[in-house]
Every structure is written in C-alpha cells, then in structure tokens.
Amino acid sequence: MRSNRRQFLKTLSGAALTAPLASLPWARTAVAQQSGAPRRAVFVFIPDGCIPERFHPSGSEFNFQLNDMTRPLESIKQHCVFTSGLTMYEGGHTHEGGVAKVLTGNNTESLDYFLAQRIGQGTPFRGINLGVHATFQNGEGNVPSFSSGNVPITPNDNPINAFDNIFGGQDPGNVPVSDRRKRSILDQMLSEIRTLNSKVGASEREKLEFHTQSIREVEKRILSSGAEAGMCNTSGFNSAGFTVPEGWHGYPPKIHLDEHYETIGRLQMDLITQAFACDMTRVATLMWSHPVSPLRVEGIDQGHHDTSHFGQANGDIADKFVQYKQYHMRQFRYLVESLASRTDTDGNSLLHNSVIFLCSELGHSDAHDHRNMPFVLAGSAGGALQTGRYLNFEGDAHTKLLVSIANMMGVAIDRFGYAGHGTGGLPGLIG
C-alpha cells in the first residue's frame, strides 16, 4: 500500500499534473487564463540616432505634441510613453560603442537576454532575435543583444527560416502542437488515475475524482483557448506567399536588397505577434538594419547614414533624415497595432500585457553623442506602465530605464549594467 500512496501523491502533485503540460503553448495558455496572462517584452532597435530638437515631444506629461520624427505615432500615442533627457554614459561616442551599450548598460549581457532567462522559463524559446538586413555589411558584434560573457547574439534576417525554427517546420495554419499530443498526455494522466482508483481508499478516491474533473477542465481550455480568440492560428502568416530570395544578383545578396526591406520587416513583426499569441516566447528583439546603415528607401536619394550627418538641423539633408526616421516610426506603429489587435488569455490585448522598447545607439546623430537618447516605450506591461505620457528625465542614466523595464516584467532588480551614475528605476515611470 505504501507504494500505492507514493504513486497517489505523485499523481496529485502539482508537478505531476502540470509538468507534462509545461511544454505545450496551449496548455500554458489555459493556465494563464486562471492566473493572469504573462508579461512580455519586445526590444526594437533602429539605427543612427536622431535630431533631438526634431524628435522629442513638447508640452507636459499628459498634454504634449509630437515632433517631426515621431509624427507617425500620433494615432497610437495613447499606447506610448515618450521620454527625453536620458543619457547613455558608457557609449563611447561611436555607433559601435552605442549599440553594444544600449541594452547592456556596459554589462556582460543585454537586458533582453537577461529577461529571457527569467520570464522565458517554460516557453519553447526563452527569447528570439530577429533582424531586417541586420547582418548586411555589419561588423561582427555590432548588435544590441549579448548573452552571458559578452557573446554577441546574431539576429536571424530570414523570417521564413525563423518561422520554421519557432513553429517546428509546420505549414502556416497548423498549430505548433498537435491535438494528438495534447490529448495523449491528458489521457495518460487519466489512465494513471483510473489504475489508482482500485488501489486506494474512499477518501483518496474522492481526491482522485476531483483531480479527474480538473484535468478535464484543463483539456477543455487547451482545445478551446486558442480557437476562440484565434490565438494560435498561424494561417495569416505570410499570406502573400513571399519567398525570401536566395543567392546573389551582383551585390548585395538578394535577401538584403532594399526593395525587400519593408516586406521582411513586417513579416518579422508578424512573427513576433504570432510567437507571443502562441506563448512560444515572451521576449523578442528586432534589429532594423544596423549602425552606419547603408539603407535607401524609395523616394529618398541619399543613404540612411549619410543623412544622419545632416549639418543644419533644418536643412535639406536633415529633412531626408526625418523622412527615414518617420519611415521607421511607421514600422514601429505597425508592430504596436499588431499586438493591440490580438486578444490575450485574460481578455486584454497582447499589447496591454507587453512592453516595447524602441531604442537607438546615438542621441544626436551628427554629433555622435549619447545624450537625450531617442527612446520610446509602448504597451502597458500588464498594467505596470501608464501610457499616453511624455516624461523628461534630464541627465538621468539610461540604465535606470533598463532597471524599470525589468521591474515592469516582475523582475526585482535595482541596477543593471554600470551603476556609477545611479541605481534604481526612473522616478515616476512605473505606475
């Protein structure tokens, strides 16, 4: 009887009931419905800094006006927090130094990686790193993401390949975990309970019956949670059937031709939304181009980096740089709207339960400095962040913002990276 009791206790333990389900995105969704949806973080890098006097808003915390470079965010500014005045003290006054410090704070690992190891536990991918032409003409290590030991994490520039990696090579439209696998795990549990029923006393049989009902409830949630809200339906991904071009056509390689830049970028953002909806990951990083970006988009006759050295803040070259920044703000808006359009397991949107950090490696691009950094937050981080605000943190270290982002995700730290310019989060940001 002693062995039966041990088996009984094992079957009823939380680990026995939930561990087999921990690897299933749909099962985690069901659990999240009971305890609240998870919080998620997205880190978005756009290159080459800004023109501060044409980027940062004017006005007060709740009554502010957007500037030239951020004008495309007008329709979503209620979902955003705009900051000014933050200084990245350890950037080295270079593109390369800035990109290496913006998410690390001069640490040996970046905040996205740090959070992925903490809030990403139990998901198939603790974090995903995606790029849009991020590896084209980019020196080794010129990325914002680093694992422990200061090892650079190279983003995946191929959204189709990234989709296959994340969703196991399934064709779009198939959920990442089959019904057969989900049902078989539950059936195995129920079979074990039925076996125990004939070997335990009446009081223990009552407990077994209670847990049988609980398993059936989990089963119902697993089979309905994604379907009801379209949570894990991947059929919409790459609906246009874009094929990532392979090989070379002169220089650059075809995948890095400017004509594919926006299409690839939007597929990567769709992939982030889908991965969050399926709870495949809770941390994502998206790197648009890279420092000293060679990008050219239609309608602008100079390259991205060339226009970032604009001379006069209101001159013709500066106006072209504004157009580039507006272009990337429209892409950022797409991501915000994509997450806002999907319902999470608690009835809120994915955006409500996420925070998106938009960053760059420079402040004033023509001066190559790291003052008054162009940082924007979006999403409510599960209610931790009040949006629709503009906050000035004149002279505060950007590492305090990194601390605040970690705190929003439920990770209690008071410093991240170099703490010589102050510890704790940004006052008044959270809440």
Amino acid 91: pLDDT: 72
105 in a structural domain: yes
243 in a structural domain: no
**Across residues 21-33, what is the average pLDDT?**
40
396 in a structural domain: yes
Considering the domain architecture, whether residues 323 and 184 belong to the same structural domain is answered as: no
431 in a structural domain: no
240 in a structural domain: no
Q: Give the tens place of pLDDT for each residue, 173-184.
A: 444 344 434 444
117 in a structural domain: yes
360 in a structural domain: yes
Considering the domain architecture, whether residues 223 and 300 belong to the same structural domain is answered as: no
Q: Give the tens place of pLDDT for each residue, 182-217.
A: 444 556 667 777 777 777 777 777 766 766 766 665
Number of domains within the chain: 2
Considering the domain architecture, whether residues 156 and 20 belong to the same structural domain is answered as: no
Considering the domain architecture, whether residues 367 and 400 belong to the same structural domain is answered as: yes
Q: Give the tens place of pLDDT for each residue, 55-110.
A: 999 999 999 999 999 999 999 999 999 999 999 998 788 999 999 999 999 999 99
Considering the domain architecture, whether residues 319 and 403 belong to the same structural domain is answered as: yes
Considering the domain architecture, whether residues 276 and 415 belong to the same structural domain is answered as: yes
Q: Give the tens place of pLDDT for each residue, 29-42.
A: 334 434 489 999 99
Q: Is the pLDDT of residue 387 over 50?
A: yes
Lowest mean pLDDT among 137-151, 259-273, 282-296: 137-151
Considering the domain architecture, whether residues 145 and 4 belong to the same structural domain is answered as: no
Domain assignment of residue 78, given as a range: 40-174+253-426
Which residues, in sequence order, are bridge partners of residue 378? 80, 356
- For residue 219, name the pLDDT band (cuts at 50, 70, 90): low
Considering the domain architecture, whether residues 196 and 108 belong to the same structural domain is answered as: no
Considering the domain architecture, whether residues 169 and 75 belong to the same structural domain is answered as: yes
**Across residues 42-64, what is the average pLDDT?**
98
Kindly state the greatest CA–CA separation across the chain: 86
Considering the domain architecture, whether residues 78 and 26 belong to the same structural domain is answered as: no
Considering the domain architecture, whether residues 215 and 339 belong to the same structural domain is answered as: no
350 CB-contact burial (10 Å; exposed 0-12 / middle 13-18 / buried 19+): buried
Considering the domain architecture, whether residues 84 and 190 belong to the same structural domain is answered as: no
236 in a structural domain: no
